Amino acid sequence: MDCDPQRPWPEPEPTPSASTWSRSAQSQSDAQRSTPRSGQRRPGRIGCLLIVLVIAALWVQNRIVDTVIDLFRNHPAPVAGSTFDKVAPAPRASSGSPTIDRIVGSHQIVGGGQTVGGGQLRIAIEEQLRVAIEEAPGLAQRSPESGRYTGFDIALLGLIARDLGADPARTSFKPVPTINREGDLDRGEVDLVLGGYEITPARSAKVGIAGPYLVRSLRLAVPATSPVTSLSALGHGEVCAPEDSPAAKALADHGIGLQTRADLTNCATLLGDRLVEAIAGSQDALSALLSQEPGTLRVIDEPLGTTEYGIGLPPGDPLLRQRVTAVLRHAIDDGTWARLYAEYLGTPVPTPPVLR
């Protein structure tokens, strides 16, 4: 406490007058108006935050678009007309065989899908393996109930189809008369020919052939009432055989009078008209005729010779021939050929032929 008596006492502060109080209030009021409240500053801050968020969103969007574009860069374009815009598969490298390329390529969708009743999707798919077939008992027979083909040739065909990458269950069979089979191969309407397809020089000059996979007997067939029981009993009677066939050559080699027609069916017509004494062909082809007209024909036991069966192939496709031949060779080597022969053609099982 300062008790110096010499120091003067401080002057008392003057009491503010009314005018002073008025000026002070006015200053405080101006200050309040010039300084914004916290609630008044909030809208400006929110606007700045929104601008920042928009900029960030645009940046993220651009990054997403760039990523998607990068994913599809240098990729095939979608298939036009597809319900779900399926991406077109990249072209496959050629195998060197046009037939194999077509078979493998038919795994892919070749037509646009469309919705059908119940919202299901139907997609057009090309058949895989197209086969010209001629029915012959034991080799290739079609069930009237199921429509499926069975037989020795059909079993071998299943092995070939799987090796070529085709589904045997989706094989398309086309019944083709003997005289039309080479033409169908040459035009590319079928991929293979099966069903007792005999190997001849004339056919080998037109199309490819893999084999022989089977050797069969050549026989004569006469009317059921004919007294002929052997080749020598024919006398001077003529025999009909398909032109350019092994049977025709065998008859000529035996010095037997010969007439030729386009196929064995036409020969059977001649026989029915008594214009020839007998008809000649492979034992399987004759069996097929007997099954169509039971009781009208009789096969002579004496063999006329032998014939070889092969698998007809499109001309100019050596790689396909190699592949088919390899399948046949493997079936012979591992015992599959013998097992199938016993199952469809009976026993005893002969020695398998030598593939060429």
Quick one: which of 162, 153, 163 has its CA closest to 197? 153
CA-to-CA separations, 342 to 20, 116, 168, 286, in angstroms, rounded: 132, 47, 22, 20
Tell me the whole-structure pTM to 2 decimals: 0.70
Bigger pLDDT: 200 vs 116: 200
What's residue 63's pLDDT?
A: 74
Average pLDDT over residues 65-85: 54
Q: Parallel, antiparallel, or unpaired for β 208-223 and 239-242? A: unpaired
Contact 200, 282 (CB under 8 A): no
Domain membership of residue 69 (yes or no) is no
Domain around 339: 130-344
Domain membership of residue 337 (yes or no) is yes
Average pLDDT over residues 19-40: 50
- Residue 23 φ then ψ, to 5°: -65, -35
pLDDT digits (tens, 9 = 90+) for 309-348: 999 999 999 999 999 999 999 999 999 999 999 999 999 9
Q: How confident is the model at residue 93 (pLDDT cuts 50, 70, 90)?
A: confident
Residues 6+ apart with CB under 8 A from 193: 131, 132, 133, 176, 181, 184, 185, 207, 311, 312, 313
The domain tally of the chain equals: 1
Quick one: which of 261, 250, 177, 260 has its CA closest to 220? 250
Average pLDDT over residues 243-255: 95
The Cα–Cα gap between 135 and 161 comes to 19
Domain membership of residue 138 (yes or no) is yes
Residue type, 176: V
**Token pair of 111 as six digits:** 């037509």
Domain membership of residue 354 (yes or no) is no
46-77 b/e with 16+ CB inside 10 Å = b?
eeeeeeeeeeeeeeeeeeeeeeeeeeeeeeee
Quick one: which of 248, 243, 282, 238 has its CA closest to 262? 243
Domain membership of residue 213 (yes or no) is yes
Express as a percent the part of the chain with pLDDT over 70: 74
Q: How confident is the model at residue 164 (pLDDT cuts 50, 70, 90)?
A: very high
Residue type, 24: S
Domain membership of residue 101 (yes or no) is no
Domain membership of residue 67 (yes or no) is no
What's residue 332's pLDDT?
A: 98
Quick one: which of 228, 260, 265, 257 has its CA closest to 241? 260
User: Is the per-residue pLDDT at 222 higher than 80?
Assistant: yes
What's residue 68's pLDDT?
A: 60
Contact 85, 79 (CB under 8 A): yes
Q: Which residue intervals of 198-282 are DSSP H helices?
A: 201-206, 246-253, 264-272
E-strand ranges in the chain read: 114-115, 121-122, 130-133, 141-142, 149-150, 172-175, 192-194, 208-223, 239-242, 258-261, 278-282, 297-299, 305-313
Listed range (117-126, 219-228, 290-299) with the worst mean pLDDT: 117-126
The Cα–Cα gap between 46 and 142 comes to 82
What's residue 114's pLDDT?
A: 45
What's residue 128's pLDDT?
A: 82
The Cα–Cα gap between 211 and 321 comes to 9
Q: HSE on the CB side for 117, CA within 13 Å?
A: 0
DSSP state of 171: P
Calculate the average pLDDT of the chain: 81
Domain membership of residue 333 (yes or no) is yes
The Cα–Cα gap between 247 and 219 comes to 8
Q: HSE on the CB side for 122, CA within 13 Å?
A: 6
CATH code of the domain in which 147 resides: 3.40.190.10
Q: How confident is the model at residue 106 (pLDDT cuts 50, 70, 90)?
A: low
User: Is the per-residue pLDDT at 236 higher than 80?
Assistant: yes
Listed range (81-85, 280-284, 304-308) with the worst mean pLDDT: 81-85
**Token pair of 158 as six digits:** 């299943």
Bigger pLDDT: 88 vs 119: 88
The Cα–Cα gap between 115 and 246 comes to 54
